Chains A and B, each alone.
Chain A
């Protein structure tokens, strides 16, 4: 099976940097993804790490350490619009089947002015 752990809430002020951690357990790891979901909306894809290291996309970066079963999402220069829930998700592999995502419970980020 799969399990993912991430903090339930994080708060920060505009312009700050925040890191959301995620630890996972899965029987067939293939990659770690991050999604953003605003209240009432659908999740939108932010980033994907299949290999160890840091992936940068604008103000957002994502890191993966497969040996530690750990990753994080780093949000820089926070803006009010970044207030949302952030989910980590593991993509599994079972034999030749790829692609299913299993999500953590999400981290509610609140950005204060």
Chain B
């Protein structure tokens, strides 16, 4: 069966510090991978998606970047965090042309102080 792992679960980082969040998927090949951010009490904002190794599309210009060094690994990064980067970050995967929905990881709650 397919599983998605996301870590860490919580993170408190000072303004100006770097960020690296990792997501890995098991039990499937060539998944579509996504990073979403959810501000408190808000909907989910699509940040990045990837259809293959090294292929990253950005939905919203911002202080963040994403990379996909391996088929089932998706990394969200920042060189210098801003207060506005605080939020709940969710990784998800899906299979193209399928209608079974996205499967989300358990999320990382990031607080920038």
Given A87-B43, A87-B44; A101-B102 close (CB under 8 Å) = yes
Determine the chain A residues whose CB is within 8 A of the CB of B106 once the complex forms.
Answer: 41-42
Minimum distance in angstroms from B4 CB to a CB of chain A: 9
In the complex, residue of chain B having the shortest beta-carbon distance to the beta carbon of A100: B49
Contact A43 B99 (CB under 8 A): no
A: interface residue count bin: 20 to 34
Contact A42 B97 (CB under 8 A): no
Contact A42 B100 (CB under 8 A): no
Q: Does A104 contact B (CB under 8 A)?
A: yes
Minimum distance in angstroms from B88 CB to a CB of chain A: 9
Determine the chain A residues whose CB is within 8 A of the CB of B94 once the complex forms.
Answer: 99
B: interface residue count bin: 20 to 34
* CB within 8 Å: A-B pair count: 52
Contact A99 B104 (CB under 8 A): no
Contact B42 A42 (CB under 8 A): no
In the complex, residue of chain A having the shortest beta-carbon distance to the beta carbon of B90: A42
Contact with B along A13-33 (1 / 0, CB 8 A): 000000000000000000101
Given A42-B105, A45-B103, A48-B101; A99-B96 close (CB under 8 Å) = yes
Residue of B34, B101, B105 with highest tally of chain A CB at under 10 A: B101
Interface residues of B in 82-113 (CB under 8 A from A): 90, 94, 96-97, 99-107
Contact B42 A43 (CB under 8 A): no
Minimum distance in angstroms from A8 CB to a CB of chain B: 9
Q: Does A102 contact B (CB under 8 A)?
A: yes
Q: Does A98 contact B (CB under 8 A)?
A: yes
Given A103-B44, A106-B43; A33-B101 close (CB under 8 Å) = yes
Given A45-B100, A45-B101, A45-B102; A101-B43 close (CB under 8 Å) = no
Q: Which residues of A contact B (CB under 8 A)?
A: 31, 33, 35, 41-45, 48, 50, 87, 89, 97-106
